Structure 1
Amino acid sequence: MTQHSSRRSFLRSAALACVASSLPMKPALATMAPTTMVAEQVKGLTVLFQGDSITDGKWGRNGDLNHIMGHGYAFSIASRWGADFPSPDLRFYNRGISGNRVSQLQDRWQTDCLDLRPNVLSILVGINDAAMLMEKSSVSREDFQAFEDSYRDLLTQVRKQDPKTLIVLCLPFLASVGKVKDKWERYQSTVNSLALSVRKLAIEFDAVLVDFQMVFQKAAKRAPDSYWIWDGIHPTVPGHELMAREWLKQVSARLKFLKKYA
């Protein structure tokens, strides 16, 4: 192996180590110029977005790179990150599927997550689980526990495959608009209970937590809820932009080379 190849191999390993933790920088890497260090840290990273229709954004199910990320926060994150830190080894995948609940993510987890071997895994799921629970005449603690257990199973599989994967858990959210407004108190209570499970799992799996509900609550002080979330569930274009900003801000606390987004 040439000296140049050895150096490239070392730098790629350093990038993955940065994903796993904020351990002190190795001396050899610390001597590099800051611009070079930032450029090398993004090489070899695979970023995967998982979830339901909010993530889906009608991403292309073919090889058309013009539509591969769909339209929404995942697209905004990938376009900004990819443009600011370009690398032919940087990969972004969108595998959100409209209507999915956490149990349906389980059904396709091997193909749509583990086989892609993500270094960064972002999950936003829960609103369809809430809708299903809303159809029941009564909801028990066991219902919420089933959601949590299924979610935990997904994360456990990821940790077993690669303990260094950076997991990003996004809280489900909604707004008092449209059909949600008609049953607002029950919707809010159900989503809040699911969000508590996600918060618990974020601690358990040392994941980044992204609180989208908080973001939209703050945004409602500047414009009506319907401006940001048009039907109470799905964000508008400005709403997706707020999500992208918050996601990058929170993830930059772990991936230091993204600190410009903090």
Structure 2
Amino acid sequence: MSFLSDELIPHIDSAYPTTPYRVFIGHSLGGLMVVDALANHPGLFNGYLAIDPSMWWDRAKLLNRMRAAHADYRGASLFLAGANSLQQGLDTVSVMKDTATIFSRHMQSIFKLRNELIGANHLYFGWKYYPEYDHGSVPLVAEYDGLRSLFDFYKFDFRHDEFEDPGFKGDTLMAAHFAEISRRMGYTVPPPEPIVNNIGYSLMGHGQAQRAYYYFHLNMENYPNSFNVYDSMGDWYLAQGQKDKAIGSFEKALTLRENPDTRKKLLQLQNVHR
């Protein structure tokens, strides 16, 4: 853990354009390490994915320590995956009483960990048991499910069937949704510029100019260094007959990036004004 926190993570952050949100994934003894990081190294990671972790290790030392600690997992998310290690004649109820094999102790410790973490302080917790996968085959499917669980807050439920209705009152939902994403991720995640831009043009095409303005202006607030947001706002002003403001927007766009289409629109407007 010292290597990860003091050497590897700083090196990656120095070499790549990373974000502060980190996910730690491990299987078996690696899953034990994931749970240890959650319990004993808060703040190093945000998301934790423990795949059939070996919580039985050292007479369930880590599990017993977690039971005694009653930690606050504020801001952390964990997905716990349990595989099918049942021996012949056992099911998920009877395995909790079996002491004959390490396989039963392994499953017992995972179920006990699940029970310990359900309702834990401020922990976003997801769990799934995979009866059709054993300890060796579960990692691939559990990693996929786990990532979906850890990021289940990210998807925006866009109301396509209602959106083009002039009476639609949900234009602020997108900004609010990405504000929540930013809170969960720990850094600012604005609505994607191309999506917002397309919405603005779609509303213009449906004669809803004021709603279109909201989205174009939202992009200007979130992407003030983008040539495209000023070019789009120039198109909006031009469609409203506000030629002076359109010229100003196109000029602003061209200070950020030269573009032949924008230059052509600007020259045409300037010639009209002469």
Scaled by the length of structure 1, what TM-score is found?
0.31
Structure (1 or 2) with the larger CA radius of gyration:
2
Scaled by the length of structure 2, what TM-score is found?
0.30
Report 1 or 2 for greater relative contact order, CA contacts < 8 Å, sequence distance ≥ 6.
1
